[in-house]
Structure 1
């Protein structure tokens, strides 16, 4: 591989072009383009040669020029209201991973408050940053409100919403996951199941609570008054203290694993042994769930698959130039561990 002469002192350095890399590597500019975008159809030895040329010349792909030439920025904007919840953080990670596999990057725009003005402001910022499509992670009912109008002609996929009649939606099957949790506890012999729900503004929390209520009603069981939390372990702990004082409470379905951790602590402090006295089921199957004391029975969400389907759906719109509606639900599964057992009266 030949070297190039340095620019004379005092002269502004010319930006290295794709043609410069191709000339140094002894390949076509099309091959350089494929390497720079991560295209899989390049022979490894050729890819290595091109990368070496890029490094030697200090080449950086010009995304603006590429956008002008091909009409795309290869960037997906992601709007989210919080990264503090398990679902959102894992979903963003999965979106970034699968976007990268397609040769795209993501631009993350956090929204401080879920209002129409804030959402439209986020879309404006994404427009300034030049993106090809947008994925919106909605943990609240904002898109369900008739007052919210998103900008037209936007390639859009929404996560965690009930707006499939207007937008393309990808979500975990929240209702079926909750049904599995409640049926598991009823099948163990518990008369009914108590519930620690998520906040009322959360779409996922309300879907899980509705399925809990429906499953009990269909089984002809008493539906206890639910407790609510904000997804935190502390909220679960407070609800758990209340439920520990309910003598008829032998089974609890908790809307996420962090709150379930708080419930386990409350039961321990009140002297109610899990699962001997009370069975507890969570939702999410976080990495630490198997290390709780006792290991937590929980509903597994496949965040990686949610992220993959989001990227697949939004890039289909980009490539075909057509908008889509409808909802894709990613299945859940119950992971049974040591926090559930038959009630004391059934032993």
Structure 2
């Protein structure tokens, strides 16, 4: 059920000024004919009444038209498809149309060989959010940008409810829904421990991202829970792990050349597991009999590698559904605090793991 929308006339009456003055005061760009004091007072009234611009009227739509926008960063990450599918299904059930648009992120390469993720760092997302003033949308779901103050400010000026799906951002300025990476990594390593594996290496990236730190913490949690000492030399951070053209990682190859005494590997992501499996095969290390391997995400690489990968499955469609449901609550006037809602993952067992011999 859609409640009655607060109108410009309501704000005008409460503030004691004309509708034209209210319209100018609430415009995204400060209007020269409205003083800062008047603008501040009118905006405070609008916030108190819960006013949001009538995008349906602006688009000359009927009162039955309701839409939300989804912004996606450009990149190769296929998990956005099921997440958007879940969000779209949730919107459709409640009679909302979905408008999807991409935003660009510049690529950065640091001297140390680190590269930002496709949806991290400066982008044109804030400019696109500001342009939604011309689009008949009542709320915004954005993948990434949970730490982007420009995006948050652009949405605030439009009085546009906004929800994010972002496991990269660490210092949040917007609410977000993500997979519980720490719990997932712990469960993945516990699966290996349950198979009798005790000498477990961790192969990850060098990215400065929230989920990266959480998955390493989950690895350590599982070891501690089983009474297995953590060994720093069994953690192998690799550069350029998003570059799918790399068949192996030099850092991991050097690790194998040292002939480490290991019987299992937990990989930070499935895309990391693929080069790891190639290196193990080249080194003559049998998977899963000699070394069992677990990944994280349950992305496409998990089912096309040999052997198929046991992995921690992210609930992508559920993330999309929950994020859209949260956005619609914001549209209805609810308040969602800035923070993370964590969604539990699950283990998918395939042929890359087996009991220790």
Same structural fold, with TM-score higher than 0.5 when normalized by the shorter chain: yes
Q: Which moved more, 1:170-179 or 1:157-166?
A: 157-166
Name which of 171, 174, 177 aligns with 1:170: 177
Residues in 1 aligned to 2:209 and 2:172: alpha-carbon distance in whole angstroms:
19
* Residue 227 of structure 1: aligned partner: 237
Paired residue for 1:42? none
| TM-score, length of structure 1 as denominator length | 0.69
| Cα separation, partners in 2 of 1:65 and 1:222, compared to 1, 3 Å | closer
1:133 to 129, 136, 139: 139
The match for 2:340 among 304, 327, 335 is 327
How far 1:199 moved relative to its partner?
4.5
The residue that corresponds to 2:92 in the other structure is: 100
Aligned to 1:122: 128
Correspondence for 1:244: 256
* Partner residue, 1:202: 209
CA contact (8 A) 1:231 1:256 kept: no
Shift of 1:198: 3.6
1 CA distance for matches of 2:58 and 2:131? 21
Q: Structure 2: which 5+ residue stretches go unaligned?
A: 1-54, 107-119
SS of the residue corresponding to residue 150 of structure 1 reads: helix
Alpha carbons of 1:189 and 1:232: their partners in 2 closer, same or farther (altered >3 Å)?
farther
Q: Report if aligned partners of 1:77, 1:133 keep a CA contact under 8 Å in 2.
A: yes
Q: Which residue of 1 aligns with 2:77?
A: 85
Q: How far apart are the structure 1 equivalents of 2:188 and 2:219?
A: 8
Output the CA distance in 2 between the equivalents of 1:183 and 1:254.
Answer: 13
Deviations 1:155-176 (A, max 9, x none): 1111124679753321111111
Distance 2:247 2:265 in 1: 11
Distance 2:125 2:237 in 1: 30
Which structure has the greater CA radius of gyration? 1
Residue 182 of structure 1: how far off its partner (Å): 1.0
For the Cα contact (< 8 Å) 1:160–1:204, is it kept in 2? no
How does 1:181-196 map onto structure 2 within 5 Å? Answer: 181-196=188-203
Match of 2:48 in 1: none
Partner residue in 2 for 1:24: none
Q: CA deviation at 1:96?
A: 3.1
Q: Contact 1:236/1:260 (CA < 8 Å) preserved in 2?
A: no
Q: Tell me, which stretches of 5 or more residues in structure 1 are unaligned?
A: 1-62
Q: Which moved more, 1:334-343 or 1:197-206?
A: 197-206
TM-score, normalising length: structure 2: 0.67
Residue-pair matches, total: 278
Q: What is the CA RMSD across the aligned residues, in angstroms?
A: 3.1
Alpha-carbon distance, 1:254 to partner = 1.1
| Conserved? CA contact 2:265–2:293, under 8 Å | yes
Match of 1:158 in 2: 164
* Residue 274 of structure 1, CA deviation: 0.5
Task: Measure, in 1, the Cα distance between the counterparts of 2:205 and 2:88.
Answer: 27
Equivalent residue, structure 1, for 2:308: 295
